[in-house]
Structure 1
Amino acid sequence: MNTTALDLDRFAPIDLDALVSEAALMTRVDRKYVVSRDAAADVITTLDAGIRVLDMDGTRAFRYESVYFDTPDLLSFRMAAQPRRRRFKLRTRTYLDTRTAFLEVKTRGARSATVKDRIGYEPSERRRLTEEARGYAADALDAIGVSAGRADDLGVRLTTLYRRATFVSGDGSARSTVDTDLEWRDAAGPSLRAPAMAIIETKSGAAASEFDRALWRAGHRPVSISKYATGLAALHPELPRNKWARLLRGPFADAPKTQSPARPDPSARPDPSARTKEPTCAHAA
């Protein structure tokens, strides 16, 4: 079974402009689920036909590539893996079907407020940071009290590929994505493919969405997962992993891993033996 086998055709289409307009009005609560691809297909068959699916020129499942950047001592990963309020994630996201790309940053400061931002990016540059991109990253790090100079240390760490279908409730109050054909490629060489896995993310207001309720009825509950941090931990068992231990013992353990030649850039190789640099804070926490 592949992503195109998901029963998407019975839902009405919604175009990208309408989806963005409706989503912009939402105060969102995000929930993530990791289920088998077959389970995702089963849940989709139970959804009300009033739900709409993103459709662009007849295509309803789209190919994504995300390239994550981190420091040699894995500052972004370790801030996610350990109980710290401050954290950041920097990536390029490329929509492979339309050949458009963005540089995206997600930060959380000492007050636990999460900020997401993105700028347009040249697709041919998506595996490197331009000087403008490093300045963009430096500003984001400085805003959460991490030395802006750490932006100079950032290099490619992990690439993820997947296929995504996007669902929108009939009234526009909730949105859900289903990611399948998942693959993680480490800059250091190893890769992991999870053809039997699906990652579902729901975004809704205070009330749970229909997709959430359908998942709950099928016995699935929200989990903590980061495509970057959980994927890197799955590829490197020596890294901290307690936060995602159940997933790493379950769906990720079943995914086949392969070893490929490392990229020539030595800064792209994770160095778990290196001493972790604590973020340099502008102010005391």
Structure 2
Amino acid sequence: MRTLSPSALAALPPIGLEELVASSELLTRVDRKYALDRSAAELLLDLAPTGTRVLTIDDRRGFGYTTTYLDTPDLLTYQLAARRRRRRFKVRTRRYDTSGTGYLEVKTRDGSRTVKTRLDGDHLLEGRLDAEGAGFVRGALTAAGVSDRYVTELRPTLDIHYHRSTLQLADEGSRVTLDTGLRWEAADGTVLERPDLVVVETKSTGRACSVDRLLWSLGHRPGRISKYATGLAALDAALPANRWTRTLRDHF
């Protein structure tokens, strides 16, 4: 798995997990995503705004993740995103590869706002959500005004493996994540890898953060990229993918 240059991250001061969570725990937020090549991402780190710190745990500045997305047999959550439905959702599990710990997560979308709720632990049992996990997903969807009638149909659809570094921006309460070494594996075993792609995501309370403005000054604009939807579209050309045409053309 290719990751960002250690020297690019080493120049930034560290921040611990507890302080990061306390200073910028954004569960309701506006996300902006950028698809960059490795050299552009490392230039971003070199020019990072004053006071930017990088999450550091046991001297590690990047961490492996495995995310499993759940969808219905007819790919309802993918279709909602592809057809730009205002109210849409994703259900996924995420595992920290180093510790083996993880959680179940529901992301709901209403316009430009993303709301994320999570439940600690592994709640997949033989390819199904266990009772606690299913109840949690139902509650999260109901709270967001989304029908929960498809919860029993959710199955693992796509695994995504990647390496993430997380930045905290000074005095903004904003985070930036950089995902590298991206590898997708579909339920049928088909694999797609993009080792030179870096997905940068800014997470703020609304207005553009300092890293957004820096990226804009370097000629990069937010793009339409969903690690789940774009990856699935790249693996299956029969899926409707007009929303991600430019990203697919430029990076896949």
Shift in CA distance, 112/181, structure 1 to aligned 2, threshold 3 Å: closer
Q: What does 1:131-150 align with in structure 2 at a 5 Å threshold?
A: 131-143=131-143, 147-150=147-150
- Whether the 8 Å CA contact 2:29–2:115 is kept in 1: the answer is no
- Whether the 8 Å CA contact 2:26–2:205 is kept in 1: the answer is no
Q: Tell me, in whole angstroms, the C-alpha distance in 2 between the residues paired with 1:26 and 1:71.
A: 25
Q: Tell me, in whole angstroms, the C-alpha distance in 1 between the residues paired with 2:138 and 2:25.
A: 27
1:63 maps to what in 2? 64
1:2-57 Cα distance to aligned partner (Å, 9 max, x none): 31515111111100000000013797432110011121012211124521100001
| Farther-moved stretch of structure 1 (100-109 vs 111-120) | 111-120
| Higher alpha-carbon Rg | 1
Q: Tell me, in whole angstroms, the C-alpha distance in 1 between the residues paired with 2:112 and 2:221.
A: 24
- Whether the 8 Å CA contact 2:28–2:115 is kept in 1: the answer is no
Report the number of matched residues: 251
Letter in 1 for 2:38: R
- Whether the 8 Å CA contact 2:105–2:116 is kept in 1: the answer is yes
- 2:68 paired with 1:105: no
1:251 maps to what in 2? 251
Q: What does 1:7-86 align with in structure 2 at a 5 Å threshold?
A: 7-24=8-25, 28-86=29-87
1:221 maps to what in 2? 221
TM-score by length of 2: 0.90
Letter in 2 for 1:221: R
Q: Tell me, in whole angstroms, the C-alpha distance in 2 between the residues paired with 1:205 and 1:76.
A: 25
Q: Tell me, in whole angstroms, the C-alpha distance in 2 between the residues paired with 1:151 and 1:61.
A: 33
Q: What does 1:225-236 align with in structure 2 at a 5 Å threshold?
A: 225-236=225-236
Letter in 2 for 1:57: D
| Structure 1: stretches of 5+ with no match in the other structure | 253-285
Displacement of 1:71 in angstroms is 0.5
Displacement of 1:85 in angstroms is 1.7
Q: Tell me, in whole angstroms, the C-alpha distance in 2 between the residues paired with 1:21 and 1:187.
A: 37
Q: What secondary structure sits across from 1:59 in the alignment?
A: coil
2:200 maps to what in 1? 200
Q: Which runs of 4+ in 1 moved over 6 A?
A: none
Displacement of 1:60 in angstroms is 0.2
2:167 maps to what in 1? 167
- Whether the 8 Å CA contact 1:38–1:196 is kept in 2: the answer is no
TM-score by length of 1: 0.80
Displacement of 1:147 in angstroms is 4.7
1:211-249 Cα distance to aligned partner (Å, 9 max, x none): 222212221110122111111111101001001010111
| Structure 2: stretches of 5+ with no match in the other structure | none
- Whether the 8 Å CA contact 2:27–2:116 is kept in 1: the answer is no
- Whether the 8 Å CA contact 1:162–1:183 is kept in 2: the answer is yes
Q: What secondary structure sits across from 1:149 in the alignment?
A: coil
Identity, % of aligned pairs? 46
Displacement of 1:62 in angstroms is 0.5
Letter in 2 for 1:202: T
RMSD: 2.4
Q: What secondary structure sits across from 2:188 in the alignment?
A: coil
1:88-141 Cα distance to aligned partner (Å, 9 max, x none): 1000011111221010001236x8764321001138859642122122223334
1:183 maps to what in 2? 183
